[in-house]
Chain A
Amino acid sequence: MNFKRFIKLYFQNLSMELSSVTTYRVAFFLNSLSLIIGAITGPLAVLFIYNVSPGFNGWTFPEMLVFLGTIQITFGLTHALVLGFSWVTADLIINGRFDTVLLNPVNTLGYMLSRVIDFDGFVQMITGLVILIIGLFSSGYNPDFTNWLFFAFLVIDGFLLWFAFSLLIGSLCFKYERSDEWFTIIFNLAKFGDYPLSIYGSLLSFVFTFIIPLGLISYYPANFLLGKLTDIGLFFELTGLMLVITFLAVKLYSKSLKNYSSAGG
């Protein structure tokens, strides 16, 4: 399937998804509300902690807001664009409708990409952005263009990490059908990325930087934005690592898809 056709398909799916959402306006609104409340609980809890203690080493409260906002931005981006690889795959397989996906004369991965768009994710992203901006204003930081650039790329790296996770879960669905369990496991393990890596000690920090880079969920993007880290070498290492991981995850998904076709659904 060539690129032009993919773009057309993608945007057509997007507008159809938008129409769907408009039909179920109330559900969309309530879901968005739940995502916003979920995004606010973190900052609120951290606010209370900072009221009675100095909080996290090396992070003032406004800086924590930037950190927490970034988590929502990274995850929100994933949610909006690719998270569905984890559960839509399972959904289609359980209902036996994945076969109809295979009947389309298009690359399956590309097709799934256009099917998993979820507008709720954009709500999360916006909420995260708001929290981040509040943090920036109260912190007195004024990130320059380079800071924002690094931030953007690192957020994309974090997005790729979640993308890889989603593909991993989707791959498991081909074999085991149910997805909720794998999602729970990965989602909960990823929570290690919800706090500054500096609290983990050197071994875990290393693991969460170079092996399973959970630090990309927020720690590294936030650090580069705030100018606390400026190590370009680190930036390239992390990006390189993410490209490799993403490539492997895509391969895994494709292979699982192929096995699904050979083992039978």
Chain B
Amino acid sequence: MKGYGFLITGFKRYFAYKAQVLAKLIASPAELVIMIIVWMSIFNYSGLKEIGGFSLSEMINYYIIIYIVGLIISDKSDTRLGSNIQYGYLAMRLLNPLQIYQLYLNDEFGEKLGILFTQLIPVVIISVLFLGLNSSLINALLFVISGVLAYFMIFFFNMTFGLLYFKVKEYRYTSRIKNMISGFLSGKILPLSVFPLWLSEVIKFLPFNYFFYAPANIFLGKYSLGVSLITLLIQFSWIILFYALFKIGWFKALKEFEGVGI
């Protein structure tokens, strides 16, 4: 892959601060543990076999998957773009022969590699051994593909969203608000099936459904093979859509940027 030097740098940068590594190792599972305890208590008290179409063990698996996916799929390209624009680094980035999104992807991948080894693999092992995480081979495979597609969906969605920052100066809080809303609507806090029916139906038309909720369902075997394949197709279409939106928007923004100068 072109420009893989960025990848190595991203990987090294990840380890440069050992405290950061340690912190993430200790801190993030706490949230997962809490969610598991919370749902155990809800199921226990309710006496129900299923809530939102999920049994307790499916619910636990759901949150584990969400956590695992969240580790790898997180993306900060919108704030990166916003900060590059605001601090004037964009001009420097443009000097690089690689396209802007290729550069950002490289930054991201390097970090992902670091996360893969220090957090992802241990968590998967622990989950499989102690928390009963399991799935059929086909589902797991389809899940991985869906996860990768979800990543690119989020990436190009963020890149497109980041174009806003050519006009809007304040990027930190704006992105934070976007992340909160998108996180909620993609099922990170609560499976979408627990949402009121009318809301979850609406969300199916939005990309958010396919960031986390749909991939998780594939893993849990909630979708038939046909539905899973259609999901992958829909994800792929969203990627094309965001990619196109980004390219068009980028072209327009650059024209103004180079003409006027931010």
Question: What is A's interface to B at a CB cutoff of 8 Å?
Answer: 26-27, 30-31, 33-34, 37-38, 41, 44-45, 48-49, 51-57, 176, 178, 180-182, 184-185, 187-189, 191-192, 194-195, 198-200
Contact = CB atoms under 8 A, between A and B. Distances in A.
B23 A181 contact: yes
B42 A49 contact: yes
A45 B190 contact: yes
Given A30-B177, A33-B173, A49 B41 contact: no
Highest count of chain A CB atoms <10 Å: which of B26, B41, B181: B41
B20 interface: yes
Given A44-B184, A55-B45, A191 B30 contact: yes
A186 to B, nearest CB: 8
Nearest to A201: B37
A195 B20 CA distance: 27
A17 B46 CA distance: 49
B196 interface: yes
Contacts of A31: 173
Nearest to B25: A185
B34 interface: yes
A168 B204 CA distance: 45
B20 A34 contact: no
Contacts of A27: 170, 172-173
B24 interface: yes
Contacts, number: 98
Contact of A56 (B42, B174, B177): B42
B205 interface: no
A195 B194 contact: no
Interface in B119-157: none
B206 interface: no
Interface residues of B, number: 38
Contacts of A185: 23, 26-27
A55 to B, nearest CB: 7
A29 B23 CA distance: 31
B189 interface: yes
Given A37-B180, A41-B180, A178-B17, 17 more contacts: A27-B172, A30-B174, A33-B177, A34-B180, A38-B180, A45-B184, A45-B190, A49-B42, A52-B194, A54-B45, A57-B45, A182-B23, A188-B28, A195-B37, A198-B41, A199-B37, A200-B37
Interface in B174-188: 174, 176-177, 180-181, 184
B55 to A, nearest CB: 13
List the 3 closest pairs (A to B, CB-CB), nearest first: A181-B23, A30-B173, A199-B41
A41 B196 contact: no
A31 B48 CA distance: 40
A45 B195 CA distance: 8
B194 A48 contact: yes
Interface string B26-39: 11101100100110
Contact of A52 (B38, B51, B169, B189): B51
Contacts of B44: 57
Contacts of A52: 51-52, 194
Given A26-B169, A34-B176, A56-B41, A181 B196 contact: no
28 contacts: A26-B169, A26-B170, A27-B172, A30-B174, A34-B180, A37-B177, A41-B180, A41-B189, A45-B190, A48-B190, A49-B194, A51-B196, A52-B51, A54-B46, A55-B46, A178-B19, A178-B20, A180-B20, A181-B23, A182-B23, A184-B23, A188-B30, A189-B27, A189-B30, A191-B34, A192-B34, A198-B41, A199-B37
A206 to B, nearest CB: 15
A53 B42 contact: yes
Interface string B7-19: 0000000000101
Given A33-B177, A54-B45, A199-B41, A176 B19 contact: yes
B181 A181 contact: no
Contacts of A37: 177, 180-181
